Structure 1
Amino acid sequence: MEKLKTRLDAFSDAIIAIIITIMVLDIPPVLHDTVNNYLQLGKHVGIYLISFIFIANIWYQHSTAFGEIDTMTYRILILDMFFLAPLALMPLLTNMMAVNTTRVTVVMYGALQLLVTFLFRVLTRAIVHLEYEDEQAMRRAYAKIYGNANLLLDALAVVALVVGVFKPALALIFYLLYPVLMFLINANARQQMYDVAALPAAQQAEYADLDTAGRKAFREAQTTTFQATPPAAKPATHLPDTWAHWLDQNVDPRRRGRLQQRFDQATPEQQARMAAWFAARRQRSAPRGNGRAPRR
């Protein structure tokens, strides 16, 4: 399956590249120099960019997910085909929405975005189950981390569809925001998965049982405990320090210097501090008596 997985990666990349190429070819050229024609060209280019950003983000998420595994199952193969099939319809819906921006075409485009995103989540879930085949705690952690991350995206998608019914032009803004938020939210969720994977198995199981507040407290405790050594001073750039740092960091979250990603490389003191944090959580969540004497 390793060789077939490599072929599938190449096939998926080719499909996505062709999709973007077709969308560019669908943009009609300006044949007569009139203001209206150039305004229409700007409209087509703007809608093309909305689809380009969405597909580019899907490509990144797809590549990152498949980069986590060295082989695959028939389930992943079939789900990838089901995912690519509606994705290939993006040029058609993009062109329809650009030529005739009505509530029908805008809602159809939003529905296609939602369908593609849903199928990609199903595909990603299958990949995670393969990656953590023998780690039930990591599967549960994935369900909680990405489940919460997807709530905001689902809410935005529903709002975009509703807005598209009444204000089609305004819905285009939501379609532009959707892939940007998806990129940022999934990047943060993926980082959380790597952070949990760095824990011992027992603590992974405890993490999977945490609620939203508990997971937030865990991230704060882990950030404090495993804070990386500040990098050496670098020459000033024309960009703000925060943006320069973000742009120059490695795309793979596992290679970022923000946190130590392997728990077994931590110092004994750091391991003890995280173990103490989980012990304190267990103590707080343990059932306590009400202090009253039993009735007779």
Structure 2
Amino acid sequence: MSKGRLEAFSDGVLAIIITIMVLELKVPEGSNWQSLKTLIPKFLAYIFSFIYVGIYWNNHHHLFQAVKRVNGKILWANLHLLFWLSLMPFATQWIGETHFAKNPAATYGIVLMMCAIAYLILENLILKSEGEDSKLKEAIHYKFKEYFSIASYTLGLATSFFYPYLAIGFYYLVALVWLIPDKRIEKLLNKD
């Protein structure tokens, strides 16, 4: 099966997610700089969520550049990932509106963790589809970043009910790890 439609659909959904997030930023009533102060938590939540969606788009793009074919399982796994990513606008708005309160911080962490799990499932199904002797399997044989992400989200989720700002720190530590596209796939793509 061709991967082109999957990539185009995914790109469209991610673009809509970012659009929904930015539409949640409302213009303040005043015209002075002080009136923007109330938007700081919402804007910070938007920035971090935008970065996260960008990271997923970037790594999704790189992953599918190395994929030769897709099947029904991969299509469903991709939809699973897009489902969790589509909850980012909700989690972003709630965490921004409440100034990073406990329950919204936990919800944000759950969404991030489920995105990471969904990406790992997608990656595993792609590797299985590509075969044991594929170059992609060779490139992604060690999954430190994937498991580090899930562990960090778990720590963040556990601390969110007591120290929500510490939880946010765990969440954004993961973003720093993933900011640079997956070098394993970069090396693979540069060989061809």
Greater helix share, 1 or 2? 2
**TM-score normalised over the length of structure 1:** 0.58
Map of 1:111 onto structure 2: 110
Q: Distance in 2 between matches of 1:53 and 1:137?
A: 29
Query: Which structure carries more relative contact order (alpha carbon 8 Å, separation 6+)?
Result: 2
Which has the larger Rg? 1
| Residue identity opposite 2:64 in structure 1 | F
Q: Distance in 2 between matches of 1:154 and 1:181?
A: 12
Are residue 96 (structure 1) and residue 94 (structure 2) matched? yes
Q: Identify if the C-alpha distance between structure 1 residues 142 and 17 changes in structure 2 by more than 3 Å, giving closer, same or farther.
A: same
Are residue 253 (structure 1) and residue 183 (structure 2) matched? no
**TM-score normalised over the length of structure 2:** 0.87
Q: Distance in 2 between matches of 1:81 and 1:74?
A: 11
Map of 1:199 onto structure 2: none
Identity %: 26
Q: Distance in 2 between matches of 1:163 and 1:139?
A: 35
Runs of 4+ displaced beyond 6 Å: none
| Residue identity opposite 2:127 in structure 1 | V
Counterpart contact for 1:69–1:127, Cα < 8 Å: yes
Counterpart contact for 1:53–1:176, Cα < 8 Å: no
| Residue identity opposite 2:18 in structure 1 | I
Map of 2:182 onto structure 1: 187
Map of 1:130 onto structure 2: 129
Q: Distance in 2 between matches of 1:53 and 1:126?
A: 25
CA deviations over 1:61-114 (Å, ceiling 9, x no partner): 111111112321111011111111121111011001111132001101101100
| Residue identity opposite 2:102 in structure 1 | R
Q: Identify if the C-alpha distance between structure 1 residues 57 and 89 changes in structure 2 by more than 3 Å, giving closer, same or farther.
A: same
- Mark the runs of 5 or more structure 2 residues left unpaired by the alignment: none
Q: Distance in 2 between matches of 1:134 and 1:255?
A: 18
Map of 2:51 onto structure 1: 53
The alignment partner of 1:166 has SS state of coil
Q: Distance in 1 between matches of 2:73 and 2:53?
A: 23
CA RMSD of aligned residues (A): 2.5
